[in-house]
A = this chain, B = another copy of it.
Amino acid sequence: MPRVVVDVMPKPEILDPQGKAVLGALPRLGFDGVTDVRQGKRFELVVEGEADGTVSEAVLADVTRMAETLLSNPVIENFAVRVEQDA
């Protein structure tokens, strides 16, 4: 069964307190060299695929609508949909 990944990230202009908290903690743990951190959500959806294991355009369109209506808040978040082949 193919897997579709939906990555949801806060829009660049939106303050990301979780990311800032991680960024602030890194030096205390002895890590440097990181100039910004943003935290978002990652969804892995197992969908019904075609016979050859690919994902049809219709299913991808469905997942995009799921991302718009349920998985993200389009006012403050961006999302990206992609098919992930099993490693």
Q: A residues within 8 Å of B by Cβ?
A: 1, 7-9, 19, 22, 25-26, 29, 31, 33-48, 59, 62-63, 65-66, 69-71
B residues within 8 A CB of A65? 31
B residues within 8 A CB of A31? 62, 65-66
What number of copies of this chain does the assembly contain? Answer: 2
Q: Which B residue sits closest to A4, measured CB to CB?
A: B34
A39 partner, pick from B33, B34, B37, B42, beta carbons under 8 A: B42
| Bound-complex Cα distance A66 to B19 (A) | 13
Q: Besides A31-B62, A31-B65, A34-B47, 19 other CB < 8 A contacts?
A: A9-B42, A9-B44, A19-B43, A22-B70, A26-B70, A29-B66, A29-B70, A33-B47, A33-B59, A34-B46, A37-B43, A37-B45, A37-B46, A38-B43, A39-B43, A40-B41, A40-B44, A41-B41, A42-B42
